[in-house]
Structure 1
Amino acid sequence: MIGVDLAKAVFQLHATSMTGQLRFCKKLSRQSFLKFMAEHPPAVVVMEACGSAHYWAREMTSLGHEVKLIAPQYVKRQKNDAADAEAIVIAAQRPEMRFVEQKSAEQQGRAMLFRARARLVQQRTELVNMLRAFLYELGYVVPQGINNMPRIAAIFTEPNSDLPEIARIECRDLLEQIEAMTVRIATSDRRIKDLAGQADLARRLQTMPGVGPMTALAVEAFAPPMESFKCGRDFAAWLGLVPKQHSSGGKTRHGRVSKAGQSDIRQLLVMGAMSRLNWMGRKSIPETSWLARMLARKPRMLVAIALANKMARMIWAMLTKQEDYRTPATAIAA
């Protein structure tokens, strides 16, 4: 077994037998590492799951090695590469250790598209808030939201507006930046919709209420194969949609939702759940369903988290059974 601590230029290797006996420790450059592993007999190669780990996992697999990726929080870090490489091997030898599934290049490309769009949305929100703050300082109160941009633009065309000329110039520049980002976000949305329409997995996910092209692409880009989870609850726990436990002495105590999981999918599932609980979405909720009973006695946000948890479990069931979404009534009848 070979533990590898990845870096930009220098890689640290720590190799042991399966019984823990030290074989060698090496420090290799990026080029020397690839050449060394190409000449090395097939072995189990363990790396921390970082940004470049999936690329190197594919490279090692093509050379005939068995690759395992381990989550960084399971590795005891000692502030130097050699200790990290040793800690990776020690952690990987634990029988209860859970490993990270490798991602394909296509998955990483979809993840880049998703994250780039999220960055554009965040930057546009910052510009909108900055523009609103400038106008507030000048005596104009504008509601939040990108849909109020026409109202803001109209301020600069008012004949009796007393805005200073320098303020007009700066605010118009901000408006142009916001408009340019809106165009780029719309382009990303079209790409995401096209990709979600091409893949069978994404098409199947969109048959579930509350799941659109964005959520379907996020599941395809960030989630490992559903077969790596024993049940739907494991997938919900991986997303951070289960409560923290403070149990002891045989007494179970549940706290807040952990949020210790994949944040992109979790956020979209919660947003999809909230869309089903607004005034329009509530019309499709049967009065005798568990969702209607929850809404009658619990806060809406709490119900949204519970619904997102249920959606995660249904996604696991749909993908493992290769079936489209079925409403509860249809599923019971079947």
Structure 2
Amino acid sequence: MRASRGWIGRQAVVPHIDGVAESGPKPRSKHRGETTMDHYAGIDVSLECSSVCVVDANGKIVREAKVASEAEALIGWFRSLGFELARIGLEAGPLSQWLYAAMKKAGLAVELLKTRHASDAFKAMPVKSDRNDARNIAQLIRLGWFRPVHCKSMSAQETRAMLTARKLIQAKLQDFENSLRGILRGFGLKVGKTTKRSFAARIGELVAGHPALETIAAATLAIHAVLLREFNGFEKRVRAMSLLDAKARLLMSMPAVGPIISLTYASAIDDPARFTSSKRAGPLFGLTPKKYQSGETDYSGRISKNGDASVREALYEAAHIILTKPIKGCAQLKSWAMRIAKRAGMSKAKVALARKLAVIMLRMLKDNVPFKATAMAA
């Protein structure tokens, strides 16, 4: 079999362990007095199988394989290599946090890579494949050209899962209401303003005497009732979670921050001690402007929108409430944002206030102190 470019030695694909197809030169037996060389591995995680590449300190490929995307399979494959790995890297993703936690627990030196940085490094490659991605990750790990990502704790992941499920049901509930409104509008029937509880009764009034519309409304409202019941259940669970979570309770001492916003922010931060400065909260959630400077050109663009969009949305919502509603305890924050609104507009003022809230809330978590309006002078 002809060796492909970048490989060393004679290549062969051989069965190794269950769920693994392996390629690469057979490992040499180590002689007495021989110095060991550091090895680095990159994993491109897919749903069923992950591509794995191992390189030595010089960047030469030592081993490649397709391994089942299961923690036990990956751990078993790495332990079967016959040598220690200095570092293992994988991109942050849906399966990555679970695999990372399991491999870390097994004693492997594993790192989560920031997806944006890894994808930027891959753009120079003319051929996009899982094998090439694994090779690139291995080289990034070897050279140290990566930014590690924090792997959230299990409690933070559970909180995010609960908030995601709540948001999904809320979106589907709104979709059903909007779709039914659109159907009736085609027949000249206007639903008008309703609440979640009065929506079904209003639809029943409008479709009375229209057999076809009654059939449509009956089926749609039956699903609407189930979604509404489950959404109300999620609301109760989320509120109970916010009262039991010490960090969420602390954040709710700030005006305009309720259970949803506090849990969203607290679960995203997870461990406040990992931040050396509270000012890192702005760039973390993409609330700082992009910067471009080259020669005589120097300008700042729109916000980067990096990081967690749900946190950015929650902070913007809190800023909107502070600026548009009479909220006690935030007069200094509001006056600071209104000065920005006069010269740059209300939209930019809300973004600036959202960024300031992110910094303040992180400082509250780091110092473990509630919000103090007197300490918020601009």
Question: Does the residue aligned with 2:42 lie in a helix, a strand or coil?
Answer: strand
- Check if 1:10 corresponds to 2:49: yes
Partner of 1:53: 96
Report if aligned partners of 1:38, 1:63 keep a CA contact under 8 Å in 2.
no
Question: Does the residue aligned with 1:143 lie in a helix, a strand or coil?
Answer: coil
- Check if 1:121 corresponds to 2:170: yes
- Check if 1:36 corresponds to 2:77: yes
The higher radius of gyration belongs to 2
Letter in 2 for 1:13: V
Letter in 2 for 1:34: I
What's the CA shift string for 1:303-323, capped at 9, x where partnerless?
211110100111221222222
Question: Does the residue aligned with 1:245 lie in a helix, a strand or coil?
Answer: strand
Structure with a larger share of its residues in helix: 1
Check 1:300–1:288 CA distance in 2 against 1; reply closer, same or farther (3 A cut).
closer
Report if aligned partners of 2:255, 2:327 keep a CA contact under 8 Å in 1.
no
What's the CA shift string for 1:16-65, capped at 9, x where partnerless?
23453443223333454232234564642211111111111111111111
Task: Out of 15-24 and 309-318, give the one that drifted further.
Answer: 15-24
Q: Which TM-score applies when normalising by structure 2?
A: 0.77
- Check if 1:150 corresponds to 2:193: no
Using the alignment, how far apart are the partners of 2:62 and 2:276 within structure 1? 35
Shift of 1:223: 3.2
Report if aligned partners of 2:251, 2:370 keep a CA contact under 8 Å in 1.
yes
Check 1:213–1:150 CA distance in 2 against 1; reply closer, same or farther (3 A cut).
same
What's the CA shift string for 1:237-279, capped at 9, x where partnerless?
1211112223333654122222222101110111111111224
Letter in 2 for 1:56: L
Letter in 1 for 2:116: Q
Report if aligned partners of 1:274, 1:301 keep a CA contact under 8 Å in 2.
no
Task: Out of 275-284 and 298-307, give the one that drifted further.
Answer: 275-284
- Structure 1 spans left out of the alignment, 5+ residues: none
- Check if 1:66 corresponds to 2:109: yes
Shift of 1:4: 1.4
- Structure 2 spans left out of the alignment, 5+ residues: 1-39
Partner of 1:267: 313
Identity of aligned residues (%): 21
Question: Does the residue aligned with 1:247 lie in a helix, a strand or coil?
Answer: strand
What's the CA shift string for 1:85-143, capped at 9, x where partnerless?
11112223444531111122222222211111111111111111111112211212233
Question: Does the residue aligned with 2:50 lie in a helix, a strand or coil?
Answer: strand
What's the CA shift string for 1:60-94, capped at 9, x where partnerless?
11111122101233231743222111111222344
Report if aligned partners of 2:286, 2:312 keep a CA contact under 8 Å in 1.
yes
Alignment of 1:157-168 (within 5 A): 157=205, 163-168=209-214
Letter in 1 for 2:139: I
Q: Which TM-score applies when normalising by structure 1?
A: 0.87
Q: Tell me how many residue pairs correspond in the alignment.
A: 328
Report if aligned partners of 1:239, 1:259 keep a CA contact under 8 Å in 2.
yes
Using the alignment, how far apart are the partners of 1:156 and 1:52 within structure 2? 45
Check 1:129–1:331 CA distance in 2 against 1; reply closer, same or farther (3 A cut).
closer
Task: Out of 238-247 and 14-23, give the one that drifted further.
Answer: 14-23
Task: Out of 249-258 and 96-105, give the one that drifted further.
Answer: 249-258
Partner of 1:111: 160
Check 1:206–1:134 CA distance in 2 against 1; reply closer, same or farther (3 A cut).
same
Using the alignment, how far apart are the partners of 2:205 and 2:321 within structure 1? 36
The alignment's C-alpha RMSD in Å is 2.7
Using the alignment, how far apart are the partners of 2:202 and 2:49 within structure 1? 57
Report if aligned partners of 1:37, 1:60 keep a CA contact under 8 Å in 2.
no
Report if aligned partners of 1:37, 1:63 keep a CA contact under 8 Å in 2.
no
